[in-house]
Structure 1
């Protein structure tokens, strides 16, 4: 029988979270700090930031068996296809060796027509990883990028210690649901996680599904987060939320970057414009579900705006790319550490012809892989914004 060692879950063994909230079941990792969360009551943001994209348990051990107790919360929309279960990735010395999914927890079903929520509650679940090498090794358990996860307990059959500091740079990234990991196969294979692995850096992922909206509290959170490298991917959520017009967008971008610079005056800062999304290239938002597709059993999105309103400042992805290129060129005259990357270099027309967006908005697993590899080459490679 294994002799189990229980390790408290603290910041010493958890990476990628802004803070930990004690709940009825255990500890809930948050990717935005409490002060930021208190400034916005949007349920979409609350859901996104509590899904631990990029958050992982990280420790060094010679354990051959690991048990992790978790309490998950899933959300499905009434009448829509069920969402896939979240995946836990176990990496040993940077290599994926096992995966698991949790059961139990709270399962919420939302009726979008009435706003009613039905909740079915289940128990805490225990994930078990066995058959590991008895050698000393770095272990990382990446939490599901798309499933709220409360951490209840961590047990191993050998002691655990924090991973020693190996001088890896910290990359802080903010973006939309694509950066959050929508439609990626697992948490360590979202495009930012893949790029971080290839670039040899530690990821802090502030990809917030539906919520990359130039919010001042997000900028302040980034200002206050220690980082050696910073990137912001801006555009798609501003369009599909129909949040602002061109007159407001430019100053909002300046303000967002100004706030980050208040805390990171000389840190390499990369502004990334949107990847290709044909429905919004020249058609403004708001975006919406394609209900005919939903009735047929699949999820797709559509743009509902009027292209004629572009003349009045309604935003499209084409307009946002032009504005971001202009703003970064203007600021770079006084900020040599500011850089720009056209999102079409990560996913453009040729990529769409080969790997179309399955739901017309989010890339699939193969496209996450391609975008991660492309970003690593463009940003971390020779001549890139994040090259050493």
Structure 2
């Protein structure tokens, strides 16, 4: 039997070092000789016992490889971890977006990978190991160009090897401002179409800034270690989107919420005393506007492949200090107004300016909690128009 030997079209291997990666706070070396991008540092992860946060921070939303090269073929070997929810339809594989000189020119997925099976009813999660896969991009334009590979926003990826058909070099940090953003699964990217079309990624592109996305699905919970991480991360602009996860988790009452917000803001200000700091209240979420959490899975339409969420709290419990989105918006507005008397760089944005009543009528939240791809696009455009406007919190020169 005659077998032809095809040479590897991408023979040059480049170590995956920090100067090629943007948007990650730490690269953890792995036993396979690769690196796992993290969005919380090891000391912060050590203070957490929640599997949901551990999963979210290891999903590389906003993390991208950035390099300059003449290469026309690029291969990235990764070990993805793909999620399966018991009783729900299969999830699509995570997308890798290829940008050449700032323009989206390709998308691909990685075959293989580990499988994380989550049973929301039983509250269990099990990982089954699988093989690595390779993401390939070919026929890139000739000549020197800036290449970005955005990792999937919703799928962990251990980076094993970067191979090209010409040498690559890091791109020195430019003069673009760095925007550090923290929020919930909506900021993480939830049901956005791809990693460059989450609302923060779109807003960063429109605003001409470098994104560091600390949107952590299910985990924007005013954790002190998250505040210290924000404090210690270099940034020119900072935004905090606070509210929906506190209701989802039914985590605290108003008595705890107010000092926790003050403490969170105090901590961020220790590292960034005069940085523009924008507090964003929750976008509209009809089930929780006036009904407290917790949020519970609604399996009534699972036969049609749809998992929805419902509010399991009782509106009467607001009297006992239970949080709803309207309670949180009112209190955040009061806190920011109080603090901005002494902090001229502190700003407030009502999340309903990003997604409000009229938007919900036109583009309802498919599962009652998470915006779809079209809504991510709208929110990104709205945020950029508001925050980066001449009179916005992130105006040029602010």
The interval holding the TM-score normalised by the smaller chain is over 0.9
Look up the match of 2:113.
Answer: 105
Q: Any idea what the Cα deviations from partners look like across 1:51-84, whole Å, max 9, x if unmatched?
A: 0000000011111110100000112121122222
How far is the alpha carbon of 1:117 from its aligned partner?
4.5
Decide whether aligned partners of structure 1 residues 281 and 3 sit closer, same or farther in structure 2, where only a CA change above 3 A counts.
closer
Look up the match of 2:4.
Answer: none
Picking from 272, 275, 278, the partner of 1:270 is: 278
Picking from 289, 312, 318, the partner of 1:304 is: 312
Asked if the contact 1:63–1:159 (Cα under 8 Å) also holds between the matched residues in 2, the reply is yes
Decide whether aligned partners of structure 1 residues 91 and 384 sit closer, same or farther in structure 2, where only a CA change above 3 A counts.
same
- Alpha-carbon distance between aligned partners in 2 of 1:314 and 1:87, rounded to the nearest angstrom: 38
How far is the alpha carbon of 1:116 from its aligned partner?
5.0
Look up the match of 1:22.
Answer: 29
What's the TM-score, normalizing by structure 1?
Answer: 0.98
Give runs of aligned pairs for residues 61-210 of structure 1, distance below 5 A.
61-115=69-123, 117-210=125-218
Decide whether aligned partners of structure 1 residues 131 and 98 sit closer, same or farther in structure 2, where only a CA change above 3 A counts.
same
- Alpha-carbon distance between aligned partners in 2 of 1:114 and 1:288, rounded to the nearest angstrom: 13
- Alpha-carbon distance between aligned partners in 2 of 1:320 and 1:294, rounded to the nearest angstrom: 31
- Alpha-carbon distance between aligned partners in 1 of 2:312 and 2:379, rounded to the nearest angstrom: 27
Asked if the contact 2:284–2:356 (Cα under 8 Å) also holds between the matched residues in 1, the reply is yes
How far is the alpha carbon of 1:294 from its aligned partner?
2.4
- Alpha-carbon distance between aligned partners in 2 of 1:121 and 1:254, rounded to the nearest angstrom: 43
Give runs of aligned pairs for residues 182-261 of structure 1, distance below 5 A.
182-261=190-269
2:327 is paired with a residue whose SS is helix
Gaps of 5+ in 2: 1-6
Asked if the contact 1:104–1:121 (Cα under 8 Å) also holds between the matched residues in 2, the reply is no
- Alpha-carbon distance between aligned partners in 2 of 1:8 and 1:93, rounded to the nearest angstrom: 22
- Alpha-carbon distance between aligned partners in 2 of 1:111 and 1:350, rounded to the nearest angstrom: 35
Asked if the contact 2:113–2:129 (Cα under 8 Å) also holds between the matched residues in 1, the reply is yes
Structure 2 residue 7 is the aligned partner of structure 1 residue 6: no
Gaps of 5+ in 1: none
Decide whether aligned partners of structure 1 residues 159 and 213 sit closer, same or farther in structure 2, where only a CA change above 3 A counts.
same
Q: Any idea what the Cα deviations from partners look like across 1:12-70, whole Å, max 9, x if unmatched?
A: 00001111112233211000000100001100000000000000000111111101000
Give runs of aligned pairs for residues 301-380 of structure 1, distance below 5 A.
301-380=309-388
Asked if the contact 1:91–1:141 (Cα under 8 Å) also holds between the matched residues in 2, the reply is yes
Asked if the contact 2:97–2:104 (Cα under 8 Å) also holds between the matched residues in 1, the reply is yes
1:267 is paired with a residue whose SS is coil
Q: Which deviates the most, 118-127 or 139-148?
A: 118-127
How far is the alpha carbon of 1:126 from its aligned partner?
1.0
What's the TM-score, normalizing by structure 2?
Answer: 0.95
How far is the alpha carbon of 1:324 from its aligned partner?
0.6
Look up the match of 1:36.
Answer: 44
Q: Which deviates the most, 347-356 or 122-131?
A: 122-131
Look up the match of 2:290.
Answer: 282
- Alpha-carbon distance between aligned partners in 1 of 2:180 and 2:265, rounded to the nearest angstrom: 14
- Alpha-carbon distance between aligned partners in 2 of 1:119 and 1:238, rounded to the nearest angstrom: 28
How far is the alpha carbon of 1:115 from its aligned partner?
4.8
CA RMSD of aligned residues (A): 1.2
- Alpha-carbon distance between aligned partners in 2 of 1:370 and 1:115, rounded to the nearest angstrom: 34
- Alpha-carbon distance between aligned partners in 2 of 1:209 and 1:348, rounded to the nearest angstrom: 21
- Alpha-carbon distance between aligned partners in 1 of 2:231 and 2:127, rounded to the nearest angstrom: 37
Asked if the contact 2:340–2:347 (Cα under 8 Å) also holds between the matched residues in 1, the reply is yes
How far is the alpha carbon of 1:132 from its aligned partner?
0.6
How far is the alpha carbon of 1:202 from its aligned partner?
0.3
Look up the match of 2:393.
Answer: 385
- Equivalences, count: 388
How far is the alpha carbon of 1:226 from its aligned partner?
0.3
Decide whether aligned partners of structure 1 residues 219 and 100 sit closer, same or farther in structure 2, where only a CA change above 3 A counts.
same
- Alpha-carbon distance between aligned partners in 2 of 1:116 and 1:190, rounded to the nearest angstrom: 28
